[in-house]
Structure 1
Amino acid sequence: MENSPAKGPAAAGSQTLSRGLQALELLAEAETPLTINELAEGLGIHRSNAYRILRTLEQRRFVARDDAGRIRLGPKLTVLSHGVAPALHTAAMPVVTELAYELGMTAFLTLLDADEVVTLVTVEPSNVAATISRNPGVRHPVHLGAPGHAIESSLTAAEREARLGSPVFSEAAERAKRDGYAASNDEVIDGVTGLAVPLRLVGEPPAAVAIVHFRMPEPLDAAVAALQNAAARIAQSYR
C-alpha cells in the first residue's frame, strides 16, 4: 500500500515556506521593486495570501517596502549572504568595490550552483549617473550571460559532464577559452552588455568576476585587463 501525501499543518507549513522562498527569488530577479499584485501574480496566489507571506518576510527583514509600497529585498539578506562562501566573500568585496568604481560599472562575483549562476557579491558605483541593479542571490541559467560563459570555459570536459550533463562545450565557452574572457549582449537583460573572466579557487565552486553596463568601452582591452587583475587579486587575498 502506497503512502498517502502529507496533509495538515506540516504540509501547509511546507507550502508556505516554499512560497516564501519563491517570493525572495522573484524579488531578486525583478529589475524594479514589485507591487503586491505583481508578487501575487508571480506566485500564482490570491493577493491576501501574498500579503500574509509578505508580512512574515517583512517582520524578519528579508524584504522591505519603499514609500510607494513597492517591495524589494531587505537588509537581512545582505547579512545572510556573508555566510555563503565567507572566505571568498571577504576576499572579493574590496576588490569588486574597487573594480566597480574604477570602471564606473556594476561589478559582481558569481558562482556556479548546479546549472545556474548565482551572484555572491555585487557593487553599484555611486560616482556615475546610472548603473544596473544586480542583487546578491539573483540567478540565471549558466548558458546565458558572460559570467556563465566564463565559468563554463574554466571547466574541464569531465567537470562539465559531471556538473552540466555533457562534456561538449558551448560556442560561447570555446570563445572564452580562446580569448581569456567572455562577452554577452542582450542575453540576460535586454539592452545590457556583460563582460566576465573565470576565477577558480581550491575549495570553492567555479566562479567569475564580471561587469555589466549599457555599453562597454571599445576596445575592450582595458576593461578585460581590469577584470583579470581583479580576479588575480581575489585569488591572492583568498590564500
Structure 2
Amino acid sequence: MDKPLKAPPPYAIRSVDNALRIATMLQLEGPLTVGEVARRLGVASSTAHRLLAMLVYRDFAVRDADRAYRVGPVLELAAHSQSAAARLRAAALPHLHRLVELLGESANLTVRTGDTVRFIASVESRQALRVGSREGMVFPAHRTTAGLLLLAELPPDRLAALYTAGRYDQYPDDRPDLDALRTELARVRRNGFVVNQGRSERGVVAIGVPVRAPDGEVAAGLSVSMPSARYEKERLPALVGTLRTVADALERDLTR
C-alpha cells in the first residue's frame, strides 16, 4: 500500500491553522466580515479580528471600506470576479450540509487541475471523532477519492500525457505505475464510485461519486470522509446510494 500523504503535525499551532483557513476561505468564497470568520472558525470575534489583522499586515488580505475583508495581493485573485470553482462551490454547499445531516460524516467537493486535486468545499461532521475540514488542500489526483473519479474520465492519451512530462522528468519516483493506475481507473468506471481506505491519510476512509456538469463532463468529486474505526463495509451500498442521490440533486441545480 502507498504511504499516506498527509497527517496533522504532532505539534499543530491552532492560530497558524486558523490563519491559513481564513486565507483559503477568502480565496474561495470572496469577502467575509469579522463575524462571519469568527462563526466559521468557532472563535471569538476578537480572535478573528487579530488573525485578519495579521493577514492584512502580510498582504494576504485587505480591508474594504465596508469593513469586510477580501484577498490581498499575495493571493493574486481577481477580487471582483467569481471563478467557475467558486460558482460550483456555492451551488454545492447546501448539498454538502445535507449529506452531513444524512450520514453524520464530513463531506467534501473536489476538482482536478492537471495531476492534482483541490478541495474547494468541506463541511465537517458534528461528531466528536471526525475528519476535519480539507478545504483548500491539494493532493496528487491518483492518491485521492475524487482524483480517481476525475482521472477515470480522461481518454488514454490525456492520462498518459499527465504522467509522462513536466515535474515527473525531474522526480520520476512521484510518477504512479501507469498500468496499475489504468486498471484501477477501469474499475472506477465500472463501479461509478471509489472507496479510499487510508490512501490519502492514515486512519481515514473516504467514499466518493462523480458530479457531472450540464455538458455531461465530470466537474467534481463528491465524497464523505470518516475515521476508519467507524467504517463498516456492510454499509457501503447505502453510503454510495445516499451520495448518488445528493450528487443527482446537485447536478439538477447546476443544470438550472
Give, as a single letter, the amino acid of the residue that structure 1 aligns with 2:212. Answer: R
1:77 matched residue in structure 2:
24
Q: How does 1:62-101 map to 2 (within 5 A)?
A: 65=15, 71-72=17-18, 73-82=20-29, 83-84=82-83, 85-101=85-101
Q: How does 1:27-176 map to 2 (within 5 A)?
A: 31=8, 34-35=12-13, 65=15, 71-72=17-18, 73-82=20-29, 83-84=82-83, 85-126=85-126, 128-165=127-164, 169-176=181-188
Q: Distance in 2 between matches of 1:173 and 1:181?
A: 10
Structure 1 191/197 Cα, relative in aligned 2: closer, same or farther at 3 Å?
same
1:180 matched residue in structure 2:
192
Q: TM-score, normalized by length of structure 2? A: 0.61
Structure 1 120/190 Cα, relative in aligned 2: closer, same or farther at 3 Å?
same
1:194 matched residue in structure 2:
206
Q: Distance in 1 between matches of 2:217 and 2:188?
A: 21
Q: TM-score, normalized by length of structure 1? A: 0.65
Q: Distance in 2 between matches of 1:163 and 1:233?
A: 31
Question: 2:208 aligned with 1:209, yes or no?
Answer: no
Question: 2:252 aligned with 1:236, yes or no?
Answer: yes
Deviation digits for residues 179-234 of structure 1, max 9, x if unmatched? 11011111111111111112232498742101111233323111101111122111
Q: Distance in 2 between matches of 1:152 and 1:117?
A: 10
Aligned pairs, number: 178
2:172 matched residue in structure 1:
none
Structure 1 165/197 Cα, relative in aligned 2: closer, same or farther at 3 Å?
farther
CA contact (8 A) 2:196 2:207 kept: yes
Give, as a single letter, the amino acid of the residue that structure 2 aligns with 1:181. Answer: F
* Unmatched 5+ stretches in structure 1: 1-28, 36-63
Look up the SS of the partner of 1:151 in the other structure.
helix
Give, as a single letter, the amino acid of the residue that structure 2 aligns with 1:187. Answer: R
Structure 1 198/74 Cα, relative in aligned 2: closer, same or farther at 3 Å?
closer
The list of structure 1 runs, each at least 4 consecutive aligned residues, that deviate by more than 6 angstroms after superposition, is: none
Question: 2:203 aligned with 1:225, yes or no?
Answer: no
User: Over the residues paired in the alignment, what is the CA RMSD in angstroms?
Assistant: 2.7
Structure 1 220/30 Cα, relative in aligned 2: closer, same or farther at 3 Å?
closer
* 171-180 or 73-82: bigger deviation: 73-82
CA contact (8 A) 1:151 1:199 kept: no
Greater relative contact order (Cα < 8 A, sep 6+): 2
* Unmatched 5+ stretches in structure 2: 1-5, 30-81, 166-177
Look up the SS of the partner of 1:34 in the other structure.
coil
Give, as a single letter, the amino acid of the residue that structure 2 aligns with 1:219. Answer: R
CA contact (8 A) 2:125 2:131 kept: no
Percent of pairs with identical residues: 24
Look up the SS of the partner of 1:235 in the other structure.
helix
CA contact (8 A) 2:207 2:225 kept: yes
CA contact (8 A) 2:192 2:209 kept: yes
Q: Distance in 2 between matches of 1:96 and 1:71?
A: 22
Q: Distance in 2 between matches of 1:145 and 1:86?
A: 21
